[in-house]
Amino acid sequence: MAILREMIAQEVISGFKGKIDFYFWKGIPCARRWPSSPGKRRAPLVQAQWPIFTAGAKAWADVPADIRRLYEEMATDTGLSARDMYTRLYLAGFETSKTPVGDYR
């Protein structure tokens, strides 16, 4: 991370798209190398969770429309989508095929 004296012009930022990420951190202008995915190089514990996440993603397709609406309500003002909320609860081990559990806002 590099701290900048001031944020540079948008035209300059656009020229570095995909190479340098310009952002504000606590009001301080900063720059860093453009974030990149590590690909499939992940820790063994992270890789062990992939099948669970895949099962949760597939299970969302079977959730009835009325239950999906409940997840939409639960996700309101959380920054999550209904699917994200469902996946979060699924990964936490809640029974998600019937009704949403609790208020997780």
54 and 84 share a domain?
A: yes
SS (HEC) of 8-73: CCHHHHHHCCCCEEEEEECCEEEEEECCCCCCCCCCHHHHHHHHHHHHHHHHHCCCCHHHHHHHHH
Amino acid at 31: A
50 and 71 share a domain?
A: yes
Question: For residue 103, is it within any domain?
Answer: no
Residue 54's domain comprises 44-92
Question: For residue 39, is it within any domain?
Answer: no
Q: Sign of torsion, CA 101 73 64 52?
A: negative
The first and second tokens of residue 55, run together, are: 């099962």
Question: For residue 100, is it within any domain?
Answer: no
Count of domains observed in the chain: 2
Q: 87 vs 1, which has greater pLDDT?
A: 87
User: What's this model's pTM, rounded to 2 decimal places?
Assistant: 0.51
Strands 28-33, 20-25: pairing kind: antiparallel
| Mean of per-residue pLDDT scores for the chain | 84
88 and 65 share a domain?
A: yes
Question: For residue 15, is it within any domain?
Answer: yes
pLDDT in tens, 34-75: 888 777 788 888 888 888 888 888 999 999 999 999 999 999
Structure confidence at residue 46 (pLDDT): 84
The first and second tokens of residue 70, run together, are: 């409940």
Buried b (16+ CB within 10 A) or exposed e, 2-40: eeeeeeeeeeeeeeeeeeeebeeeeeeeebeeeeeeeee
